[in-house]
Amino acid sequence: MKNWKINKGMIRISPDLKSWWPVLFLPAGLLLFYGTSRMNEWVEKVYSRHIFKFIAQVLSHIAGVFPFSLGEALVIFLLIFILCRIILFFRKIIAQKEGRKAAVLTAIRRIAITVSIIYFLFVFLWGLNYNRLTFAELSGLEVKPSSIDELEEVCFILAERCNNLRTTLDEDLNGFMKIDGGRRSALERAGKGYIEASRDYPVLSGKYGRPKGVVCSFAMSYTGTSGIYSVFTAEPNVNMDMADCDIPSTICHEMAHQRGFAREDEANYIAYLTCSYHPDDDFKYSGALLALIYAGNALYEHAPEKYKQLRAEYSPGVVRDLRAISDFWSEYEGPVEDISSSINDTYLKANRQSDGVESYGRMVDLLLAEYRAGKMR
């Protein structure tokens, strides 16, 4: 196949090569992402605070018209569409004896174009938020190396908070924490935490569409996924099959992504933060438990003996809830979950998510910075 033709001293691009031009969206997206990687203040002021915020609020309100997750519906539709296209492609290849090479090249071109356009849209609609200022910079929290004693103190503060809050909550027949009003009510009430937190942290403000529960939550469970932010519909989507104590903080985590905080560890901290501002105890408890798990894991890694002392302070209710979380996820361990974790790790590395110089991971270091600033609620 000739892509270049010489005619009267001029080089002309053949129609076959012209049809590949949309593939340029891929290098354009890469250039946009990596070209702004050191322009953090510009990304924050121009993109995250204005361009992205406008796009996300508009998309999320459009998606909010639907009572179900529009993002989930689009994924299901695309999976069915792709499956049908694959079946038709192989039927065509098998049926025709001539032109198979052209059919394969056409299929490759269409896939390359689709991937290129999707990647560019991902970067433009949300991905540039990876290059914004960190939440520590925006909130005035000073992240720096911390001592084991400081980490231990934070852990005991969180444990005491969890113990006290746990006594105010209802339980199911198994003795596990139960969300007030049912799991769906958590989706409706989650925004209260952001409204309160935005008074002290204006960067968390904004009028966005509500979070959605996922109908196919069982599929998310098999992939080890508690929630996912739908970039193309600006919807926070949540696995509703998890233990009740996990759901409020997961909702707030995905809502942090909706507000442009792309880094997973920062979204975890914002989930804890907004839950602590929430007027309802089930949210306060879920956020505190999330923080306790991360801080406790860090203490166990660096000072196992101190962790044993911490663990002995957990109330029976807190212990049961931790067991509920562990038992739920252990049911879905397997090759699908392993593959999903591997893909997610690759995604995080591709988007340059790392803990940098922090001692215990960004989530725990933010907790320690909050503790040193005297802001722990």
Locate the domains of the chain by residue range.
4-131, 135-372
CA distances from 280 to 242, 277, 287, 299 (A): 20, 9, 11, 29
CA pair distance 265, 351, nearest whole angstrom: 13
Q: What is the pLDDT along the chain (377 residues), one digit of tens a residue?
A: 444 444 545 555 555 667 889 999 999 999 999 999 999 999 999 999 999 999 999 999 999 999 999 999 999 999 999 999 999 888 888 877 777 788 888 889 999 999 999 999 999 999 999 999 999 999 999 999 999 999 999 999 999 999 999 999 999 999 999 999 999 999 999 999 999 999 999 999 999 999 999 999 999 999 889 999 999 999 999 999 999 999 999 999 999 999 999 999 999 999 999 999 999 999 999 999 999 999 999 999 999 999 999 999 999 999 999 999 999 999 988 665 555 455 545 554 555 555 443 346 899 999 999 999 988 87
CA pair distance 51, 193, nearest whole angstrom: 24
Beta pairing partners, 177: 171
Write out the two tokens for 128.
């540039």
Q: What is the pLDDT of residue 16?
A: 62
Q: Name the 3-class secondary structure at 5.
A: strand
pLDDT in tens, 154-197: 999 999 999 999 999 999 999 999 999 999 999 999 999 999 99
Q: What is the CA radius of gyration of the chain?
A: 24
Burial code (b: 16+ CB inside 10 Å, e: under 16) for 215-249 equals eebebbbbbbbbbbbbbbbbbbbbbbbbbbbbbbb
pLDDT in tens, 6-23: 454 555 555 566 788 999
Beta pairing partners, 237: 212, 228
Residue pointed to by tokens 């602590």 = 276
Residue pointed to by tokens 């695309």 = 78
CA pair distance 75, 228, nearest whole angstrom: 12
DSSP 210: P
Write out the two tokens for 245.
């104590």
CA distances from 254 to 119, 192, 244, 336, 373 (A): 21, 15, 16, 22, 26
Q: What is the pLDDT of residue 89?
A: 86
Q: What is the pLDDT of residue 250?
A: 97
Range list of H helices, 172-227? 183-189, 191-197, 217-222
Write out the two tokens for 119.
């990647």
